């Protein structure tokens, strides 16, 4: 019977892989080591399974390292889609959300929600968002969704507290 092989406990292989991708220094280190192995004569085709990437990517790392040094091993900035609202418009929208209520703009409610904000943005900025994107926009501005709880003015607060204590006992 053979010996038991060494195993990592407490971390899955996916969690360990995520740790590599979390810090740019690790990524550069791994790529630099791949370049080092190529400099020792290792084939990029043999290294592709070890680094879990294509041989072409390893070749690209080597060429970028030769041209730019360590900076060539860093990820290039991703462009992505340009934002629909400018930074100025986002600041203005944030100010409106903090200091104004929807009923001041003709809406039939006193609290902001996704559909009302979507309509407000369409009217004031001529930009159309999907409802799901409105909530991402709110998160980007630092707001969180909070559901209001109704308090009825005619309710007796003392009776309410007594009822709560009775419920806790039962």
Q: pLDDT tens string for the chain (170 positions)?
A: 677 778 888 888 888 878 777 888 888 999 999 999 999 999 989 998 888 899 999 999 999 999 999 899 998 887 888 888 999 999 999 999 999 999 899 988 888 888 999 999 999 999 999 988 998 999 889 888 777 677 777 778 888 888 888 887 77
**Residue 4, CB half-sphere, CA atoms under 13 Å: how many?**
3
CA–CA dist 99, 67 (Å, integer): 53
SS3 57: helix
Query: How confident is the model at residue 1, as a pLDDT?
Result: 60
Residue 46 CB-half CA count within 13 A: 7
Q: What is the pLDDT, as a whole number, of residue 17?
A: 78
Residue 5 token pair: 């092989």
The domain locations on the chain are: 13-73, 87-140
Residues 6+ apart with CB under 8 A from 111: 101, 102, 148
Scanning the structure block, which residue is given the tokens 């930009």? 127
Q: Is the pTM of this model over 0.85?
A: no
The confidence score (pLDDT) of residue 66 equals: 94
């Amino acid at each position: 019977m053979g010996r038991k092989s060494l195993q990592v406990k407490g971390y899955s292989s996916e969690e360990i892989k995520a740790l590599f991708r979390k810090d740019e220094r690790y990524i550069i280190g791994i790529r630099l080591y791949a370049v080092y192995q190529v400099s020792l004569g290792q084939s990029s085709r043999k290294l592709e399974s070890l680094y879990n990437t294509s041989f072409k990517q390893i070749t690209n790392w080597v060429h970028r390292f030769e041209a730019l040094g360590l900076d060539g091993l860093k990820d290039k900035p991703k462009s992505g889609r340009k934002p629909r609202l400018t930074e100025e418009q986002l600041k203005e929208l944030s100010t409106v959300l903090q200091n104004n209520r929807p009923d001041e703009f003709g809406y039939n409610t006193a609290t902001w929600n996704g559909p009302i904000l979507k309509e407000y943005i369409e009217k004031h900025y001529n930009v159309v968002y999907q409802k799901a994107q409105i909530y991402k926009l709110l998160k980007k501005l630092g707001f969180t969704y909070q559901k209001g709880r109704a308090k009825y003015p005619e309710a007796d607060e003392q009776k309410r507290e007594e009822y709560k204590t009775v419920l806790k006992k039962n």
